[in-house]
Structure 1
Amino acid sequence: MAYVVSATWTVQPGKEDVVRDAIEKLTPPSRQEPGNLFYQAYQDPAEPSVFRLFEIYQDEEAYAAHGASEHFAEYGLGQAIPVLADRERAFYETIG
């Protein structure tokens, strides 16, 4: 079973470019992580302050490694998350 993460980041007004830049920098190294199977961010055209991230990892440990990575510390924790108005995450396991 793979470990699935669905995140919704709602950005403070006027900070959309900060988060978009962080995601663009965070995506390539996240996709290269050994335990990453899929990593894709989306921005809602109807609500430009809402970003969604859909991630699939080999297991929960691989997701924990992502959260402990240097690139997540720099671009996620250091750049994007400080300008969020809200952050929601949901966790799942694949079937079959």
Structure 2
Amino acid sequence: MAFVCNAIWTVKPGSEEIVREALESLSPATRTEPGNIYYQSYVDPEVPNVFRIFEVYKDADAFAAHGQYDHFKEHALGKAIPELETRVRELYETLDY
């Protein structure tokens, strides 16, 4: 079974560009992680302060490792997350049938 995270980041007013730039660096770096299967950030143009990130990892350990990489610490923890009003993470496991 794969491990899935659906993250929803609601950004403080005026910080949208900071978060967008952080995701521009974080997304491609995350895709190089050995346990990452899929990582895609997206935004509704009608609601530009809410970013969503759909993440799939080979297992929960790979997801946990994601938070330990330098690119996550720099771009997510160091730049994007301080600019958020709320951060929601919905966690799932895939069904292999």
Under TM normalisation by the shorter chain, which class is it?
Answer: over 0.9
Aligned length: 96
Q: Deviations over 1:19-75 (max 9, x none)?
A: 000000001110000000000000111110000000000000000110111000000
- For structure 2, the 5+ residue unaligned runs are none
Under a length normalisation based on structure 1, what TM-score does the superposition of the two structures give? Answer: 0.99
The percentage of aligned residue pairs carrying the same residue is 55
- 1:13 equivalent in alignment to 2:13: yes
Partner in structure 1 of residue 77 of structure 2: 77
Runs of 4+ in structure 1 deviating by more than 2 angstroms, as ranges, are none
Separation in structure 2 between the aligned mates of residue 6 and residue 34 of structure 1, nearest angstrom: 19
Give, as a single letter, the amino acid of the residue that structure 1 aligns with 2:4: V
Give, as a single letter, the amino acid of the residue that structure 1 aligns with 2:56: I
- For structure 1, the 5+ residue unaligned runs are none
What's the secondary structure of 2:61's corresponding residue? helix
Partner in structure 2 of residue 55 of structure 1: 55
Give, as a single letter, the amino acid of the residue that structure 1 aligns with 2:22: A
Under a length normalisation based on structure 2, what TM-score does the superposition of the two structures give? Answer: 0.98
